[in-house]
A and B are shown apart, each in its own frame.
Chain A
């Protein structure tokens, strides 16, 4: 982060200038979602080496040359200082360009920005992680961190809901996690295919049966806003105290650093005061009927 005491030149560049990174690998997760591994571009002596350290839940602004930037949550392992991984859903012009990146291509990165999931604060507690659709990538770093320090936490349950079996991300990883004895993974889809032998139903139906001590549990929820609202209701009904529920929000971001005004949700700048919030902080704001 540039400080005002630096020279005019660097100052004028400031925090709106992306750092050049290079694509190392790129792979599809589903028909419209892909993951990409990045590393800092070499040869720029002023930049520190290695991927920037981040907290689970934070995001980067990814710059597609000449097209624009989008805020994308970091989906990799926070303990891996070499590889920066993002999982992106192709929804617009910029993400489409990002999806066309191939190894060796250049991409700009600004960040990491925003607040992270309260993983340390959850130590000593049971943990219930609820992901809906594209909400799993921002939560995967939490799972990595928790599993790397497994004995710091109580019972851990992952509830994942996807639209259909073909639209599930991180399938191999989910299989590996499901085979662990120290992690409870429940997966459900809204629509089944012929061959699907698993649960069918909205992800909130998995909450009641999640094997955690509700009163003690910390819940981290990420997915569409309506899903998070109903997940919170389901968690509270199960007995999880409302102040132990955390949600990750999303808003239109142009700068990611609290200066352009676009991401405001009531008085809060989602890029700076979020994207991870205690649910009680945003419950009221989410219920304001924006029409």
Chain B
């Protein structure tokens, strides 16, 4: 659908109202106590205005843009915060079933109640949109599906927002996930603001998206506005904060079990699991079974888990991955290499969250580059016959 409409600066509220009216539970960005969160947007509630963010390794700050500048009016001046949309689609805690046991009836298991209202995700950045696609494939693309995920995901309305000013930790262009999008959404917005006017180019990606837009008023976008959007997105692609060579990284990591890199990272990595918590594609979970005091009612809950935890690889007697080096290696290799073998694509979408939220500022793009370099060096040494060089481990 190449048709585009032009909406005013209050498009976020108008969309939220339209979606609420249509029976959706609207979730989107909120600023609370100086933090950028994703949460429920109450009917009539205003979405953020005049906020930007600054991210760098180990650091993230939400900043209020100063009065009198164009930034002061901006609706989507921030990129991504610690929250990602997986908190709604693949929540950190979920009940899998409740079980009863008694002497006469034996074991009876009861599924959890299905979600009451469908979700509408308002303000999904292209990297996060790609992440939703990645989790779709992981959690519902295989022979067994995550029933809870499918129940929450099916029918979810997606309003995406393209990026025109990438952040310092962003590298979606390298991962092929942004800064623009052409599919995977119901509605996509591109915010265009200058001294003369402030509004949104809005495109529909589905029938229900078109229907929602049609009910919002606005007008058809002009050719100039369409061109401005295209130029802004293209400029953003050329101004990414970081880069990552996807295919070289994939190859290097596939062979890279013995690189020096792992021990080097292990000296900095705290195995705190922040990266896996903020990563929009990390999907690993654990299950916990509990019972009431009488032992008659049991519950199974699944919750987020992280491969950085020592007990993640526990196998009666000990953990298979004892060292931080082995665990970091598992995470990075999975994210940038094995994911291709499993799901046909990278597990990383270039959102940069892991860089900002790592307390010691480990940068995935930097580690990937190091892996590529070290693997090249190792490959050059290997064909030579004779004694090992530089004391390298075989």
Contact = CB atoms under 8 A, between A and B. Distances in A.
Given A251-B320, A254-B285, A20 B338 contact: no
Contact of A290 (B148, B290, B326): B326
A65 B101 contact: yes
A262 B305 CA distance: 9
B107 A251 contact: no
Interface stretch (B44-52, B160-168, B197-205, B311-319): B311-319
A211 interface: no
A291 B107 contact: no
Given A262-B284, A291-B326, A14 B145 contact: yes
Given A92-B316, A261-B305, A290-B326, A12 B286 contact: no
Given A65-B291, A260-B287, A14 B107 contact: no
A9 interface: yes
Nearest to B140: A4
A91 interface: yes
Given A91-B316, A106-B101, A269-B342, A261 B144 contact: no
Given A65-B291, A66-B290, A106-B107, A11 B143 contact: no
B371 interface: no
A272 B142 contact: yes
Among B106, B109, B313, chain A packs the most CB atoms within 10 A around the CB of B106
Interface string A63-79: 10111110000000000
Contacts of B258: 289
B287 A252 contact: no
A257 B141 CA distance: 12
Interface of chain A, helix or strand or loop or mixed?
A: loop
A48 interface: no
B111 A258 contact: no
Interface residues of B, number: 64
B315 A13 contact: no
A261 B107 CA distance: 28
Nearest to B295: A66
A260 B285 contact: yes
Nearest to A263: B313
A250 interface: yes
A226 interface: no
B86 interface: no
Contacts of B316: 91-92
Interface string A187-207: 000000000000000000000
Interface in B259-308: 283-291, 295, 298, 300, 302, 305, 307
Cβ-closest 6 pairs across A and B: A14-B147, A66-B291, A13-B111, A261-B284, A267-B338, A106-B107
Given A15-B144, A106-B101, A260-B302, 20 more contacts: A4-B150, A8-B114, A9-B111, A11-B147, A11-B151, A13-B112, A14-B150, A17-B109, A17-B111, A41-B107, A65-B101, A91-B317, A260-B286, A261-B285, A266-B333, A267-B334, A290-B313, A290-B322, A290-B326, A291-B322
18 contacts: A9-B114, A11-B150, A12-B148, A16-B97, A20-B109, A66-B289, A67-B289, A106-B107, A108-B109, A252-B312, A255-B285, A255-B287, A261-B305, A266-B333, A266-B338, A267-B334, A267-B338, A291-B321
Interface of A: 1-2, 4, 8-18, 20, 22, 41, 43, 63, 65-69, 91-92, 106-108, 250-252, 254-255, 257-262, 264, 266-267, 269, 272, 288-291
